[in-house]
Amino acid sequence: MKIKLKDAADFVGGIVIGNPELEITNIAKIEEAKEGDLTFLYLPAYEKYLATTKASAVIISPNFKKTRTDLSYIEVQNPQVAFQKIITTFLKPELKLKGIDSSAFIHPTAKIGENVAIGKNVVISENCEIGKNTYIYHNTVIMENVKIGTNTLIYPNVTIRENCVIGNNVIIHSNTCIGSDGFGYVLNEKNEYEKIPQIGNVVIEDDVEIGSNVSIDRAAFGSTLIKRGVKIDNLVQVAHNVIIGEHTAIAAQAGISGSTKIGKHCMIAGQSGFVGHIEIADGTIIGAQAGVSKSIKKAGKYRGSPAEEMSTQLRLEAHIRNLPTYLERIKKLEEKIAFLENKIFELTEKKGN
């Protein structure tokens, strides 16, 4: 990468403060940057590194003071977005997988689009359709009747089971399984579990990214649906017949039980869990380790287990933390009440005499 600071600033609509002819050769975190690097500052917690960073230039918001005159700056309203645009454009990783490896098995009935790259030991089963400009890395298994769109990237050891549909511009990271059986059983007359066949599929729409070690279960009937623009972190479980709305983001170790509907533009923090058959309103934010036990019909911020609206839950948490203090106060009040009751009893006895 080589780019002049003024060109980077023009690209993100920023203003150069310093040397516009400065040549940038790399991008790095502010605390690790070296000479020639471009970095960014958008969180107050990282402002302390501005005094010591060895970067040559910093993308910075107008809110931060440009205290060092030996640095150049690109001033923008949103440094994080600007930094992302520069990385995406100038440092996009090159995909080195080329062609179709001889060890790959492609069923004769499969349809492979133009410029598709397929790695070692990949299996593509009968009647699959793979769109153009798609990259499928090593040891991936694609079972019968799967349809994959264009410009999709599938990393090693992914399994996509029968009849699933993957859209365009999708990224699926290593060791993820799309279309595993849903957790469906019924107790028979002997009180033994019998499996309910899971005969649906998974549909993943365009522009979705799915992390590593994610399991998205196929529907019992119909489709488990991951809508356009959804981002799913590592180690997430999505159960059968779940629907996740457009542009919702789900952090690591979250679990969503069967037939739950998550709205669009939601943010779900790590280790949160959802019971089945509930609905979450569009634009809802769920805090880390929340336990969502009922539908949320009004968008807002929720946390705790069971999850409550954030301001309510924070008040409850404050009271829980103060329970030892409350206990002492209650003991003292009980002692005072007992003392007053004794006094009243004594006065009543005297008056009776």
- 107, 138, 173, 240: which is the annotated catalytic residue? 240
Q: What is the pLDDT of residues 17-32, one digit of tens each?
A: 999 999 999 999 999 9
Judge whether residue 135 has pLDDT over 90: yes
Judge whether residue 312 has pLDDT over 90: no
Judge whether residue 1 has pLDDT over 80: no
pLDDT at position 71 is: 95
CB within 8 Å of 322: residues ≥ 6 apart = none
Helix, strand and coil percent figures for the chain, each rounded to 5? 20, 30, 50
Average of pLDDT values for 58-75?
A: 94
Cα separation of 198 and 124, whole Å? 22
pLDDT at position 352 is: 67
By C-alpha distance, which of 85, 65, 84 is closest to 75?
Answer: 65
Cβ atoms of 238 and 199 within 8 Å: the answer is no
pLDDT at position 128 is: 98
Cβ atoms of 295 and 274 within 8 Å: the answer is no
Six token digits for residue 10: 């023009």
Helix/strand/coil for 57: strand
Judge whether residue 255 has pLDDT over 70: yes
Mean pLDDT of the chain: 94
Q: pLDDT band at residue 60, thresholds of 50, 70 and 90?
A: very high
Q: What is the pLDDT of residues 178-218, one digit of tens each?
A: 999 999 999 999 999 999 999 999 999 999 999 999 999 99
- Percentage of the chain lying above the pLDDT 70 cut: 99
pLDDT at position 89 is: 85
pLDDT at position 351 is: 73
Q: pLDDT band at residue 162, thresholds of 50, 70 and 90?
A: very high
The one-character DSSP state at 220 is: S
Q: pLDDT band at residue 311, thresholds of 50, 70 and 90?
A: confident
265 is catalytic: no
Do β-strands 261-262 and 279-280 pair in parallel, antiparallel, or remain unpaired? parallel
Six token digits for residue 152: 């999709």
pLDDT at position 44 is: 92
The pTM of the full predicted model, rounded to 2 decimals, is: 0.86
Cα separation of 213 and 236, whole Å? 7
